Structure 1
């Protein structure tokens, strides 16, 4: 999500169905990250389905950075 210290927003409505991570600005000034599959993107908001099957609605204008991530996390080596 960083390029030379900058946050980069790389996803759009064409990425519905893909697994993404988004960094959103919180009202109190911090940031939080959400990882999930883009279920929908309509009227300035997107809905992400998290791994636990819960849904998160994100206002497009709150996204500070985003990118597509692999569908399944890579397996860790050397761990059972």
Structure 2
């Protein structure tokens, strides 16, 4: 039996990196970022574009993910 993704989120500590798939009008979308708040009926994921507040009944999948890879340095421009 697959664990309930909302229960997985409720059991995590803030600061964990997660990806959450949830329902929106017309389909589904994902939020990838740091779990910043866990409430009784919703959680908040801090993404590159800002905070995303997700109600647990809309969550269809969730999992923890490893930290992002380090950013590459800019290439040197030829002279």
What is the TM-score with the length of structure 1 in the denominator?
Answer: 0.69
**Higher-Rg member (1/2):** 2
1:41 aligns with 2:38: yes
SS at match of 1:21: strand
SS at match of 1:47: strand
Gapped runs of 5+ residues in structure 2? Answer: none
- What's the offset of the Cα at 1:74? 7.2
SS at match of 1:12: helix
Question: Structure 1 residues 74, 65: closer, same or farther in 2, change over 3 A?
Answer: farther
Gapped runs of 5+ residues in structure 1? Answer: 1-5
Aligned to 2:24: 26
Q: Distance in 1 between matches of 2:11 and 2:38?
A: 9
Aligned to 1:3: none
Deviations 1:21-78 (A, max 9, x none): 01111133x11111011111112100111134x1110001100101000122477xxx
Question: How many positions carry a matched residue from both structures?
Answer: 69
**Among 5, 10, 34, which residue is 1:13 paired with?**
10
